[in-house]
Amino acid sequence: MPDVALPPGWPPEVRPPGAEDWERTAVTWLLDQCPHEYRTYPALVHHPVALAWLAARHVLAQGQANTAARSAVRADLAQLLDSRAVDGVLTALEHEHARLLAVHRAVGLVGDALRGIRYVPRL
């Protein structure tokens, strides 16, 4: 495997750019970030740059839905759940928000690498 510096946030499931089969691991990971049905579209599976582009938009849309849910959770669920349960839902949404931010960054890093942009660490 080549000695390649990886940027912070690089997904551990994706091999470093230039390593054997790295693009296959990138495609597999990117597909894992998208709806399962995306695996059935050859235009996405065979064009990793397009897949990364779409995965970034999909994760961004999940983040927007999460933001909307976090802003509405108390008003929408207050009559349906006790306050402790609502707090639990809000906590879950906050954790998911953080996860989605990290995934969005990682998708962007993989997409950059697929387009030939290489990370150069700064001192």
Domain count, the chain: 1
Tell me if 120 is assigned to some domain: no
Neighbours of 83 (CB within 10 A): 10
For residue 43, is it within any domain? yes
Assess whether pLDDT exceeds 90 at residue 123: no
In this prediction, residue 2 has a pLDDT band, given cuts at 50, 70 and 90, of low
Predicted confidence (pLDDT) per residue in 54-105, tens digit: 999 999 999 999 999 999 999 999 999 999 999 999 999 999 999 999 999 9
Residue 32 maps to a domain: yes
Q: How high is the pLDDT of residue 4?
A: 78
Establish if 79 belongs to a structural domain: yes
Give me the amino acid identity at 15.
Answer: R
To 5 degrees, how large is the angle CA 7–CA 10–CA 13? 150
Span 18-67, pLDDT tens digits:
999 999 999 999 999 999 999 999 999 999 999 999 999 999 999 999 99
123, part of any domain:
no
Answer positive or negative: Cα dihedral of 35, 39, 42, 43: positive
Using one digit for the tens of pLDDT, what is the confidence trace for 68-80? Answer: 999 999 999 999 9
Residue 13 lies in a domain: no
Task: Select from 37, 33, 40 the least CA-distant residue to 59.
Answer: 33
Within-domain flag for 3: no
> Residue 98: which residues within 8 A CB-CB, separation 6 or more?
none
Where are the strands (E) in 1-103, listed by range?
A: none
| Residue 2 is assigned to a structural domain of this protein | no
| Domain containing residue 101 | 22-114
